Amino acid sequence: MTVSPRGPNERLGTLLTLAQISNAGLARRVNDLGAQRGLTLRYDKTSVARWVSKGMVPQGPVPHLIATAIGGKLGRPVPLEEIGLGDTDPAPELGLAFPRDVADAVRSATDLFRVDLDLRRGPGGGRWSDSLAGTFSVAAYATPVSRWLINPADGSVAREVPRSPSENSSYRVGHSDAVKLREAAQEARRWDSKYGGGDWRSSMVPECLRVEAAPLLLASYSDAVGRALFGATAELTRLAGWMAFDTGQHEAAQRYYIQALRLARAAADVPLGGYVLASMSLQAGYRGFAEEAVDLAQAALERNRSLATARTMSFFHLVEARAQAKARNAAACATALGAAESALERARAGDPDPAWIDFYAYDRLAADAAECFRDLGVPSKVRQFTREALAKPTEGFVRSHGLRLVVSAMAEAEAGNLDAAVAAGERAVEVAGRISSQRSREYVVEMLRRLEPFQGERRVRELTERARAVIVAPA
């Protein structure tokens, strides 16, 4: 559906010519991008002609999809203003700012928390908001990362809210408030690992940010309490971004990650900021921006030298290895993997590790090493590390177990071990069917692609049928 005409959209027409995209080509790209987000769109060349010649304006996330389609062809981000649709989004920059001032940072974060949940409660709610499904641009990370590198910690974050005449006192946040938020983050992390980012219990995180965290950020607190509050909220915000990433909502994830990094700076928690950067790196690599993923991982490492624990640094090195593998830089990947393993060997049970790194042990290192060698095309190493990753029970980490099984199935198929490939594939499909994770489904899709040469085998065809039923199931 489109809103009323506004006159010819000359900007859109000019940019289509510059990008050498036909009306039919743009319609096809927009429909495909919509399908990736779970939207059924049926635009054609006539639709695009109306957008250009009559100024018809598509509603919902479609202007963002148009910008994404054109940006993909031009190889750069395209803002809505450049295509003549800048006034179609009430808050195009929502969550993308990284303010220098702490008060502005609070406003930026709480605006995101409020608007995201409100929009999700609108028509078709219950999913990550399509209104936040704008143009994912890895370039949007540039300013936040540079500002964080220059100054990863704010000065005093104490806040005093003036008392209104109708109030006898203003609420002061205490350490117990921050503790409750941190406990909520830990519980949500467990649900996310077990049931996927789209599980309804995990999706309570945005509501916690809006209902619990936002009012606290806007209240009064001392510097010490404020640091704890910002840290706990940063953990929740990063987790909201991770769950959005897991459910395929990369634009929303990007906005949450930027705000999480800003909140970590207010908390003066450099390792937590590094963890956010590592999450950004994994997303960038997953989206195909390998070089930027390397930069993000190295930024996490650079600021945390002599600050983060050995276990934490090991994970940051591992994330760099993933990025280097995506960039097809085998030597750099090997160096990063070696650093990750050495750091993990130095980790001790009594180290002051942050709670959010409790998932990380050798099985996770082995699982990511397997994916590194998959990207580098070394199947023997993939099989070796996948077997090591699967050797440890993964109770509570259901999604991770499923992803490892997918990688195992692909490695065994590439080695010609069809029995082992099908066995691992069947278990992977069973896991994918039990959790709400778009990322897991995308892994299964890739597994089926690797099994295409074996479709003459009945067992492979049966596995394919079962897998397709899981893939098309609601996320």
Q: Is the model's pLDDT at 21 over the cut of 60?
A: yes
Say what the pLDDT of residue 124 is: 36
Say what the pLDDT of residue 165 is: 54
CA neighbor of 284 nearest in space, from 92, 139, 80, 86: 139
Tell me the percentage of the chain whose pLDDT exceeds 70: 87
Say what the pLDDT of residue 444 is: 93
Say what the pLDDT of residue 397 is: 86
Six-digit token string for 9: 């959209």
CA neighbor of 154 nearest in space, from 264, 72, 60, 290: 264
- 3-class secondary structure, 455: coil
Say what the pLDDT of residue 364 is: 95
Q: Is the model's pLDDT at 125 over the cut of 50?
A: no
Q: pTM of the prediction? A: 0.80
Say what the pLDDT of residue 128 is: 41
Q: Is the model's pLDDT at 230 over the cut of 70?
A: yes
Give the range among 29-43, 149-163, 248-262 with minimum mean pLDDT: 29-43
Cβ(428)–Cβ(409) under 8 Å? Answer: yes
CA 333 to CA 317: how far, in whole Å? 9
CA 142 to CA 231: how far, in whole Å? 22
DSSP bridge partners of 3: 57
Placement of tokens 């695009």 in the chain: 48
Q: If you write DSSP's letter for every residue of 62-129 in order, what string do you get?
A: HHHHHHHHHHHHHTS---GGGGT-GGG-S-TTTTT---SSHHHHHHHHHHHHHHHHHHHTSTT-SSS-
Say what the pLDDT of residue 32 is: 84
Confidence grade of residue 199 (pLDDT, cut at 50, 70, 90) = low
CA 355 to CA 454: how far, in whole Å? 44
Q: What is the mean pLDDT of the segment spanning 168-178? A: 83
Confidence grade of residue 383 (pLDDT, cut at 50, 70, 90) = very high
Six-digit token string for 309: 């624990």
Six-digit token string for 45: 């060349």
Q: What is the mean pLDDT of the segment spanning 71-82? A: 82
Q: Is the model's pLDDT at 171 over the cut of 90?
A: no
Say what the pLDDT of residue 132 is: 52
Say what the pLDDT of residue 130 is: 47
Tell me the percentage of the chain whose pLDDT exceeds 90: 65
Q: Which amino acid is at 331?
A: A
Q: List, for residues 402-420, the tens digit of each pLDDT value.
A: 999 999 999 999 888 999 9
Q: What is the mean pLDDT of the segment spanning 356-366? A: 95
Say what the pLDDT of residue 60 is: 67
Say what the pLDDT of residue 127 is: 42
Confidence grade of residue 120 (pLDDT, cut at 50, 70, 90) = very low
| Chain mean pLDDT for the chain | 87
Q: Is the model's pLDDT at 303 over the cut of 60?
A: yes
Say what the pLDDT of residue 217 is: 96
Six-digit token string for 44: 């054609």
Q: List, for residues 329-348, the tens digit of each pLDDT value.
A: 999 999 999 999 999 999 99
Q: Is the model's pLDDT at 382 over the cut of 50?
A: yes
Say what the pLDDT of residue 1 is: 45
Biggest CA–CA distance in the chain, Å, is 79
Q: What angle do CA 356, 225, 157 make, to 5 degrees?
A: 100
Say what the pLDDT of residue 36 is: 63
Say what the pLDDT of residue 437 is: 87
Q: List, for residues 450-472, the tens digit of each pLDDT value.
A: 999 999 999 999 999 999 888 76
Say what the pLDDT of residue 123 is: 32
CA 262 to CA 50: how far, in whole Å? 41
Q: Which of 89 and 438 is assigned the larger pLDDT?
A: 438
